[in-house]
Amino acid sequence: MTKTTPVHRMLRERLDASRASSRTRGALVGAAILVSFGFIATFSLAPPAPQSEAASIAAYAAEHAQDVDVSTVAAKQHLEATGAVERDEYDATDGEETFIAGGTNHDWAKLVLLYAGFPVNDVNVTVVTRWMRQENYVDSWWTRNNPLNNGWGASYGPGGTGRNVDLVAAARNAADALLRNRGYAAIRAAFMDGTDTAAIERAIWASPWASGHYANGSHWHYNPVPVVPAPRSAWGR
């Protein structure tokens, strides 16, 4: 039997304490590892925080970017604010009532061209107003409601002295004469072309419209014809 001495007891106590300390350190290290793993797992598995409203809007705008015409947007906002109605662009052509409402010698010339189906342009209007001046005084161009002294038609008197009920009827009758009389074919062609006043006027002089043929143009005047309105009664209004 081995005898235990005080020295032996002291050495054993120290050895036991050392072993206990080692177990304690091991336990602490293990616990630390488990805690660390737990934190990592928590951060790995936790869902991301939701985006803020501003971040969501910014992300949507980036994904659905569009080009915007600011002027168009501003125009639409103005229409909405004022209650105005937006309309498509369109072109308007002057018609019969526009010329009748105008009521001048130049309007009557346009009405004749309109009824005849000729271009209503500056060249053709210039010729018709000059022609009217050759047949009547400018200041009383509506005399007998027959500005061109048209003699075509059964209701007219001889030599273009007939009378129309109003200037609208006169324009229709003058257009009808130009379209239907075979002697006016060259006038029709020149008016339809509508690009050369001289060509139209030569066709008028050569036609049977005036028996004197306007002295083949030597009696023709070229200065601008002033705009003169006729009485509303002459228009049947």
pLDDT tens column, 10-28: 656 665 655 555 555 555 4
What tens digit of pLDDT does each residue of 127-153 get? 999 999 999 999 999 999 999 999 876
- Residue 110 predicted with pLDDT over 90: yes
Instruction: Kindly tell me the burial class for residue 190, based on how many C-beta atoms sit within 10 Å of its own C-beta (0-12, 13-18, 19 or more).
Output: buried
Distance between CA atoms of residues 173 and 4, nearest Å: 156
Question: What's residue 74's pLDDT?
Answer: 55
Distance between CA atoms of residues 115 and 1, nearest Å: 151
Q: What is the pTM of this model?
A: 0.61
Instruction: Kindly tell me the burial class for residue 144, based on how many C-beta atoms sit within 10 Å of its own C-beta (0-12, 13-18, 19 or more).
Output: middle
| Whole-number Cα distances in Å, 121 to 52, 61, 75, 97, 127 | 68, 55, 35, 17, 10
Nearest alpha carbon to residue 108 among 87, 129, 124, 126: 129
Distance between CA atoms of residues 79 and 161, nearest Å: 58
Count of CB atoms situated within 10 Å of the CB of 85: 6
- Residue 9 predicted with pLDDT over 80: no
Mean predicted confidence (pLDDT) in 46-68: 61
Question: What's residue 162's pLDDT?
Answer: 81
Helices (H) and strands (E) in the chain, counts: 9, 0
Residue spans per domain, the chain: 103-235
